Amino acid sequence: MPTIPPDTVAPGQTGHIAAHNNISDVLTAQQSQLSGIPGIKAGTATLTAGTVSVSLSSVSSGTVVLVSRLVPGGTLGHLSVPAVSNGTGFTITSTSVSETSAVAWLAIG
């Protein structure tokens, strides 16, 4: 799993940057231990036109998915995971349809 860098600031996004960076620091420092915990999966994906679908058969409606921007691309927006499909995967979206960032994801549960 790649190192999770500090987030970059998108317009209107400054409120969560410190919390995000603290979470990134913890996940990066503990990534070797996290991979040994059952029910935790991690990976990377690249947004195309502000969205990407991730296939992951182990997800359920109770899965929590955290996302972090790895390499900013295009016009940055707010990242979210609006949909988790049982046994199928999830979607990561940006509020900017022109975002092409590389993102890291962590699925718990």
> Which is higher by pLDDT, 35 or 89?
89
What is the domain extent for residue 62? 14-108
Spatial CB neighbours of 81, under 8 Å, sequence gap ≥ 6: 65, 67, 90, 91, 92, 93, 105
Side chain identity, residue 27? L
Does 65 reside within a domain?
A: yes
Q: What is the CATH number of the domain that holds 94?
A: 2.60.40
Which residues partner with 26 through β-bridges? none
- Structure tokens that stand for 30 in this block: 């503990």
Does 95 reside within a domain?
A: yes
pLDDT single digits (tens) 45-69: 999 999 999 999 999 988 999 999 9
pTM of the model: 0.69
Percent of the chain at pLDDT above 70?
A: 65
Does 4 reside within a domain?
A: no
What is the number of structural domains in the chain? 1
DSSP 35: T
